[in-house]
A and B are shown apart, each in its own frame.
Chain A
Amino acid sequence: MSVVLDNLDLVLWAFAHTVALFLISGVLSLLLGTFLVALRVGPIPILRRAVSVYVTLIRNTPLLIIFIFFRFAGPKIGINFNFVDIVWGDLRMNNFFAAAIAALTIYTSTFVSEAIRSGINAVPLGQAEAARAVGLSFGGVMQQVVLPQAFRASVPPLASVQIALLKNTTVAGVFGVAEALFRVRGFTNNFPGERVGIFITFALFFVVLVEIVSFVANRFERRWGVAR
């Protein structure tokens, strides 16, 4: 335990990286995922088909492979993030960090799009028919009837996706971002005798973070959930 306590600042900065990765790629993946789902349920068949092929391909590719792409393969064809270099205290948002954000966002956004799509599918057809029957335009049907219910129904699966994202940030540690897993590896190399204590501390940190995310999600679900 003493390793963790003696190096508490390192541990906290590690989790600052973890939380930064989670928040930034969480928001970006929600935006990109919403865009994908908009194309996917839209009226143009070929666009629907193309996006669904894209989503299937990305969903079935391991996150690690996407990381390898952005770290080792992308730079070979000029995809790099060398222009990113923001340092805030010990929080280094450099090109490794940006590559991790890109990988996490691209991977997670496909799951976000699936979650929202399942929400849209959960809206009963009769709701839209009734909305059209009382004379709402397409925009009105969407804004006032379909989307509010769809987003509410999407809260639980979206929460699962975001929690998985939180745990997936650890993959960034393998690719040089100084987040929690990176620190665990450093500590266990230097203090092999204390590895179980180190592991339990970091694991509990993650349990707490996961509980926070699911608590927030539960509050949203309780406030927004649709009773059926």
Chain B
Amino acid sequence: MSTQASVLFDAPGPKAEARHRLYSVLVLVGLAGLLAFMLWRLWAENQFTEAKWEPLVTPRYVEALLLDGLLTTLQMAALSVLFAVVFGLVFGIGKLSDHGVVRWPCWAVVEFFRAVPVLLLMILIFFSYGIDRGASGAYWSVVFALTLYNGSVLAEVFRAGIQAVPRGQSEAAYAIGMRKSQVMMQILLPQAVKIMLPAIISQMVVALKDTSLGFAVAAPGLTQVGEAIYLQFGNQIPTVMVVAAFYIGANLVLTALATWVQKRFVGEKEPLAVSGVGNMAGGASA
């Protein structure tokens, strides 16, 4: 075991190595004990009976989980991020406008939708638009709410990304006689997109997790399928485990994609961080 240099402690010497081995064994025993205890609790409460797990391996329910659940969830997340990119592009560039008439409204819209809980937004959209439209009403309520929230976060990402392009680039573009819109479209945006790509993919993790909030408006997706299954079979624990595993799996794939894009297209620089109003991206951070 080679410990890499850390700000917290020196690379251990032989004595410390031995001590760490002892600790490792103790921790391993402790963790194994904890795991065994949890499994025993689950077993003691009859969570491993066939009746509880059987629905989750029955083809009809697996199909419902995968198609009506995972696929719908992914669709909602993908659609809302797609719309959010457009929303973010418009308002992010709007925030950089030289004209106060454009800049201030854009700023207000972005700040408002970033500060308002997405669930509150979802409820409003659902009650004013979706409630008479059945499942598709709930579906689009989720998509629109996530679009507004993620769009305003992405607006900040776009603004930061455009400002991260070295100033000399736009100066040079102006010097060869380009107009303001040309500088934006041909010089700044193409370079900024590269910097922003990982942040956009990470935002998909947020959107994917937030689609589960559709539970509040009975929107289709993984949570609804999960709910239907556990209400029918009373197998809350196994269903929650499986549904959580679906989300975690999808998010890990997205995170890996973002990391790959970061390495491949952006280089080893830190991913673009957007400060301010809380945005807890998921995933294992680099």
Contacts and interface: CB of A to CB of B under 8 A. Distances in A.
Given A61-B244, A65-B243, A214-B276, A188 B123 contact: yes
Interface in B1-46: 1, 3, 5-10, 12, 16, 20, 23-24, 27-28, 31, 41-42, 45
Given A77-B45, A156-B275, A164-B278, A60 B237 contact: no
Contact of B115 (A42, A64, A77, A210): A210
Contact of A120 (B8, B16, B31, B111): B8
A195 B128 contact: yes
Given A63-B209, A76-B237, A171-B119, A146 B7 contact: yes
Given A62-B210, A181-B123, A76 B278 contact: no
B196 interface: no
A68 B255 CA distance: 24
Interface stretch (A5-13, A85-93, A94-102, A121-129): A121-129
Nearest to A73: B236
Contacts of A207: 111-112, 115-116
A206 B10 contact: no
A30 to B, nearest CB: 15
Given A61-B247, A64-B213, A65-B240, 10 more contacts: A43-B8, A50-B31, A60-B209, A68-B240, A72-B236, A138-B9, A164-B278, A169-B117, A192-B127, A214-B277
Contacts of A121: 7
Contacts of B223: 62, 64-65, 68
A184 B276 contact: no
| Most chain A beta carbons < 10 A, residue from B8, B31, B111, B211 | B8
A184 B124 CA distance: 9
A57 B248 contact: yes
A120 B282 CA distance: 20
A161 interface: yes
Nearest to A146: B7
B283 A166 contact: no
Interface of B: 1, 3, 5-10, 12, 16, 20, 23-24, 27-28, 31, 41-42, 45, 47, 111-112, 115-120, 123-124, 127-128, 205, 209-213, 215-216, 223, 226-227, 230, 234, 236-237, 239-240, 243-244, 247-248, 251-252, 255, 275-280, 282-285
A132 interface: yes
A128 B27 CA distance: 27
A160 interface: yes
A167 interface: yes
Interface of A: 41-47, 50, 52, 55-57, 59-65, 68-69, 72-73, 76-78, 111, 114, 118, 120-121, 123-125, 127-128, 132, 138, 142, 146, 156, 159-171, 173-174, 180-181, 184-185, 188, 192, 195-196, 199, 202-203, 206-207, 210-211, 214
A188 B210 CA distance: 22
A177 B212 CA distance: 19
Contact of A164 (B23, B237, B279): B279
Contacts of B240: 65, 68-69, 72-73
Contacts of B124: 184, 188, 195-196, 199
A182 to B, nearest CB: 10
A44 B212 contact: no
Contacts of A55: 284
B130 to A, nearest CB: 12
A60 B252 contact: yes
Contacts of B116: 167, 203, 206-207
Contacts of B6: 41
A129 B112 CA distance: 45
6 contacts: A62-B247, A127-B7, A156-B275, A174-B216, A192-B127, A202-B120
Contact of A56 (B28, B209, B237, B284): B284
Contacts of A127: 7
B278 A59 contact: no
B280 A164 contact: yes
Contacts of A111: 280
